[in-house]
């Protein structure tokens, strides 16, 4: 759909939007799953469209509708989200969701973070932790979500394992990944009370305007699940300047942000949840990230994501190896 400007104009008008052609459609973001585009018209009207990569329409039509429903449900909450214009399907049945453009931009790398003063970076970090804490206090059933009888970590391990095995080629990475998985499944903690979780909560999925969060984006993985998985995922992304960079940029490496310990203290105060077993959870999230990046590597090699945000396959493989090594270290620390 993002390649069909005339269709986009027609769709927007049919959904009550005032559009002044011509429009410009630009890919934005570093995302390696759904495609995100900015639609801008000649009168400065702006919208955001999200849709899956080519070839994934059938599998993700439900996910697009689900994400739109979650955004609508959160619109009256303390979590800032974009306003949904509607959902539809483009040529070939590819689903999409369109939202009003929210002021601000995602911090996708260190250069973006350095545009903020150190004081702004620290205040932003505190707000990031507070927002996650507020999310985990919301009632997910109001969004039409229900808790599974199977614990979140068990579900995720099964799904990531199935995905990895589709790409397995007998390499050393396969051996390392399986070794971490085998140890991980023996160390799973007793699951805490399920909460409404984001599933991919990190700085690059937040819009920031002058140091203030204006919207939380990318709700496709939102579910009723384990709060510590959200916390660990954020902590993995919260890399300090002293830590090694990976293929997915970490804006916090610019410095000036709260430490992981400060983030946990803020989260604990707002959510009322005491973070537990974080070494195991961080081993899980790093193992999960390695599995997701293996899928990215496969899509890149197949050309499904085009040239936007292109990532060197060798860098992807190096990052996967680093994540698995770090996961192994966390499992040792958890003993």
- CATH number of 75's domain: 3.30.200.20
Q: Give this prediction's pTM.
A: 0.91
- 136 with 70, same domain: the answer is no
What is the rounded distance in angstroms from the CA atom of residue 132 to the CA atom of residue 138? 10
At 295 the pLDDT is 80
260 and 145 belong to one structural domain: yes
Say yes or no: 90 and 227 in one domain: no
Do 160 and 263 lie in one domain? The reply is yes
187 and 298 belong to one structural domain: yes
327 with 251, same domain? yes
- Determine how many CB atoms are found less than 10 A away from the CB of residue 277: 17
Smallest CA-to-CA distance from 167 within 300, 314, 33, 305 is with 300
Rounded CA-CA distance 321/327 in Å is 10
67 and 114 housed in the same domain = no
Domain boundary among 71, 100, 129: 100
d(CA 184, CA 232): 15
Q: State the burial class of residue 304 (Cβ atoms within 10 Å of its Cβ: 0-12, 13-18, 19+).
A: middle
Domain that holds residue 67: 5-100
Closest CA to 288 of 335, 207, 240, 225: 225
Sign of the Cα pseudo-torsion (153, 158, 163, 166, in order): positive
Q: Which residues of the chain have pLDDT under 70?
A: 1-3, 29-33, 54-62, 299-310
Q: What 3 state SS string does 109-167 have?
A: CHHHHCCCCHHHHHHHHHHHHHHHHHHCCCCHHHHCCCCCCCCHHHHHHHHHHHHHHHH
Question: For residues 328 and 102, what is the distance between their CA atoms, to the nearest angstrom?
Answer: 40
**Predicted pLDDT at 306:** 52
Residues 118 and 95 in one domain: no
Residue with tokens 């604990």: 268
* Same-domain status, 163 and 230: yes
CATH number for 166: 3.90.1200.10
Place of tokens 């699940």: 225
Total tally of structural domains belonging to the chain: 2
Q: What is the pLDDT of residues 27-46, one digit of tens each?
A: 876 555 678 889 999 999 99
pLDDT value at residue 59: 52
132 & 252 share domain: yes
Q: State the burial class of residue 303 (Cβ atoms within 10 Å of its Cβ: 0-12, 13-18, 19+).
A: exposed
Q: Show which of 83, 100, 117 is a domain's final residue.
A: 100
Q: Are the C-beta atoms of residues 237 and 128 closer than 8 Å to each other?
A: no
Looking at the structure, tell me whether residues 134 and 228 fall in a common domain: yes
**Is residue 24 located within the same domain as residue 155?**
no
- Among 82, 100, 118, the domain boundary falls at 100
């Amino acid at each position: 759909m993002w390649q069909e400007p005339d269709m986009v104009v027609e769709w927007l008008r049919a959904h009550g939007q005032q559009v002044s052609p011509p429009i410009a459609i630009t890919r934005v973001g570093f995302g390696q799953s759904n495609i995100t585009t900015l639609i801008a018209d000649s009168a400065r009207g702006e919208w955001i469209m999200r849709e899956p990569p080519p070839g994934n329409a059938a599998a993700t039509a439900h996910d697009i509708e689900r994400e739109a429903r979650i955004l609508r449900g959160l619109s009256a909450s303390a979590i800032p989200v974009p306003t949904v214009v509607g959902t539809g399907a483009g040529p070939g049945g590819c689903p999409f969701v369109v939202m009003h453009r929210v002021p601000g931009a995602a911090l996708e790398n260190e250069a973006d973070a350095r545009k903020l003063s150190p004081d702004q970076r620290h205040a932003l970090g505190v707000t990031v932790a507070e927002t996650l804490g507020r999310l985990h206090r919301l009632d997910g059933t109001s969004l039409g979500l229900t808790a599974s009888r199977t614990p979140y970590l068990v579900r995720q391990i099964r799904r990531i394992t199935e995905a990895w095995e589709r790409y397995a080629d007998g390499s050393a990475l396969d051996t390392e990944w399986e070794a971490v998985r085998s140890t991980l499944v023996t160390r799973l903690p007793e699951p805490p009370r399920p909460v409404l979780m984001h599933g991919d909560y990190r700085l690059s999925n937040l819009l920031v305007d002058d140091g203030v969060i204006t919207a939380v984006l990318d709700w496709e993985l939102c579910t009723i699940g384990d709060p510590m998985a959200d916390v660990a995922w954020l902590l993995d992304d919260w890399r300090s300047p002293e830590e090694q960079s990976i293929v997915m940029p970490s804006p916090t490496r610019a410095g000036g942000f709260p430490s992981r310990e400060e983030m946990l203290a803020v989260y604990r105060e707002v959510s009322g949840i005491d973070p537990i077993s974080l070494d195991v959870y961080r081993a899980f999230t790093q193992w999960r990230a390695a599995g997701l990046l293996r899928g990215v590597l496969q899509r890149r090699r197949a050309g499904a994501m085009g040239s936007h945000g292109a990532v060197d396959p060798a860098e992807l493989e190096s990052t996967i190896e680093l994540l698995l090594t770090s996961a192994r270290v966390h499992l040792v620390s958890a003993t």
